[in-house]
Amino acid sequence: MKRFVLAFLAALMLLALVSCATGTDITQKNRDGSPIWTTEIPSSNRYLYGVGKAKLLGESSSQMAADANARLDLARQIRVNLKENLSSYYSESGASTMEAMEQVMVQTVDLAMNKVVVEQRWTAKDGTVWSLVSFKSKDLPALYKDAANK
């Protein structure tokens, strides 16, 4: 199990390095005046980002739904990247190791969602609310360690 933990932490570090290849200025605007993050998910060496949008009857409902969608987007990215990185480490392992790894991975993503911050919101002319959320990349290894110890 210790070997499993070390390999998983190494994969998390790899994820952090891959996610910070370039940096996006989240204050940039598109030609139509909308924030750049409404058309491309930002990348950074410090943060992982998620983007969501919603258009409901009220603005506050739209904001809550857009925030939730942005968190789901971020969680999906974390899961996909972790799964891609970890599958190469365990391609030769048995099914039980893969199941344990996936369980810890889900726990890690669930823990990560507790530390998500809404960075920005933007409302389009049609009433659609967009949300940008972030999570500090450096917190992933500690979260995994907590999940692995449970």
Which tens digits make up the pLDDT trace of 2-12? Answer: 555 545 555 55
Q: Which helix (H) or strand (E) holds 54?
A: strand 47-54
**12-16, 40-44, 118-122: least confident range:** 12-16
Which pLDDT band, with edges at 50, 70 and 90, does 21 fall under? very low
Q: Residue 35 carries which DSSP code?
A: B
pLDDT greater than 60 at residue 65: yes
Give the residue-averaged pLDDT of 4-28: 59
Give the residue-averaged pLDDT of 31-39: 94
Mean pLDDT of the chain: 76
The pLDDT tens digits for 43-54 are 888 888 999 999
Site of tokens 């598109």 = 30
Site of tokens 């925030």 = 67
Quote the pLDDT of residue 103: 61
**Using an 8 Å Cβ cutoff, are 70 and 78 in contact?**
no
pLDDT greater than 70 at residue 58: yes
In DSSP terms, which residues pair with 51 in a beta bridge?
132
pLDDT greater than 70 at residue 88: no
